[in-house]
């Protein structure tokens, strides 16, 4: 198979398509995707509608290069099932953080499998396609070309997979923010955003002339000089947010107990020790 996707989710998406599609049509579909034969496509309500330039084929009575209308769609997950998925996701800090950052979390499929569902397609039953071309096969090369372009777009926009399954990215974010953990993580992430640096005209520090001032050593080192009082540091909105971003079971953690819970207990012990002066 020629490389048409660079991410694990894009490759799994194509693997399901290639499992039941004629290899010859897949090859022509890849060439259609690379050669600009898919003139345009749009996604609305989870359905992809594309205009694909066909080929002249006297066998089918096609003597002028046609423009076919192609639609592809994945089987949507019902709203009630999405509620179960969000509830399951709502206890996993690492996955929520990645999703709020518009990234595809590792192990996301386990969340769906625990509920008897799957996010990425696995068989022919997940696909629904139609093309106005005269080819009897489904998917035809025009449909395959659209799927290859869609896989390339999924590489850049992984949360599009949720939209293809019936939950828009806006709905996904809103649902995650309704969970206590999602709301706390979002607030912490907002507090960590770096400020935009001020633009400068030079990379070098320009010397400045200043007037020397007479300073009495007694005034400078006198006992009357005190440091200005500083306000106590504000507590973070979510303790140990960096720890929580790693998730309950990060790759380096081989214990049965949650990594987040273990670190939270350790932090609490350190806090009490400092408070008691130990």
- Where do runs of H (alpha helix) occur along the chain? 8-18, 23-34, 79-89, 93-100, 108-113, 141-156, 160-164, 169-177, 180-191, 217-221, 241-245, 259-276
Burial 187-203 (b: 16+ CB within 10 A, else e): ebbeeeeeeeeeeeeee
Q: Model pTM?
A: 0.65
% pLDDT > 90, the chain: 40
Distance CA 207, CA 221 (A): 28
Whether a cis peptide bond, with omega within 30° of 0, leads into 139 is: yes
- Laid out side by side, the sheet with 127-131 consists of 38-44, 47-53, 67-74, 127-131
User: DSSP string of 35-102?
Assistant: TT-EEEEEEETTEEEEEEE---BGGGTB-S--EEEEEEEEPPPPHHHHHHHHHHHTT-HHHHHHHHTT
225's CB contacts (< 8 A; 6+ apart) are 219
Return per-residue pLDDT of the chain as tens, 278 residues: 445 667 899 889 999 998 988 888 889 999 999 888 999 999 988 899 999 998 877 776 777 888 999 999 999 999 999 999 999 998 899 999 999 988 999 899 999 999 999 999 999 999 999 999 888 888 999 999 999 999 999 998 999 999 999 999 999 999 999 999 988 888 887 765 545 566 777 767 777 887 776 666 666 666 555 666 666 666 555 555 666 666 777 777 777 777 777 887 887 787 777 766 55
Tell me the per-residue pLDDT of 167-192, one tens digit each, with 9 for 90 and over: 999 999 999 999 999 888 888 877 65
Pairing of strands 38-44, 47-53: antiparallel
Count, residues in the chain: 278
């Amino acid at each position: 198979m020629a490389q048409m996707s660079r991410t694990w989710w894009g490759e799994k998406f194509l693997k399901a398509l290639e499992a039941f599609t004629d290899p010859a049509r897949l090859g022509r579909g890849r060439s259609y995707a690379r050669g600009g034969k898919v003139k345009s496509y749009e996604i609305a309500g989870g359905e992809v509608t594309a205009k694909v330039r066909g080929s002249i084929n006297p066998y089918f009575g096609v003597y002028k290069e046609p423009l076919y209308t192609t639609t592809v769609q994945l089987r949507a997950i019902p709203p009630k099932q999405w509620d179960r998925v969000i509830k399951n996701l709502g206890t996993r800090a690492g996955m929520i953080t990645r999703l709020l950052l518009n990234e595809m979390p590792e192990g996301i499929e386990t969340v769906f499998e625990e509920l008897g569902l799957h996010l990425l397609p696995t068989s022919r039953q997940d696909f629904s396609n139609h093309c106005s071309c005269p080819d009897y096969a489904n998917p035809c090369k025009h449909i395959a070309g659209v799927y290859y372009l869609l896989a390339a777009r999924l590489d850049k926009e992984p949360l599009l997979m949720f939209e293809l399954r019936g939950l828009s990215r806006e709905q996904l974010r809103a649902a995650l923010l309704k969970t206590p953990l999602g709301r706390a993580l979002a607030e912490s992430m907002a507090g960590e955003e770096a400020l935009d640096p001020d633009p400068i005209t030079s990379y070098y520090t320009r010397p400045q002339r200043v007037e020397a001032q007479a300073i009495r050593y007694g005034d400078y080192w006198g006992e009357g000089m005190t440091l200005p009082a500083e306000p106590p540091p504000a507590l973070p909105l979510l303790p140990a947010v960096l720890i929580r971003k790693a998730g309950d079971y990060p790759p380096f953690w081989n214990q049965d107990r949650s990594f987040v819970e273990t670190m939270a207990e350790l932090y609490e012990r350190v806090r009490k020790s400092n408070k008691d002066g130990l």
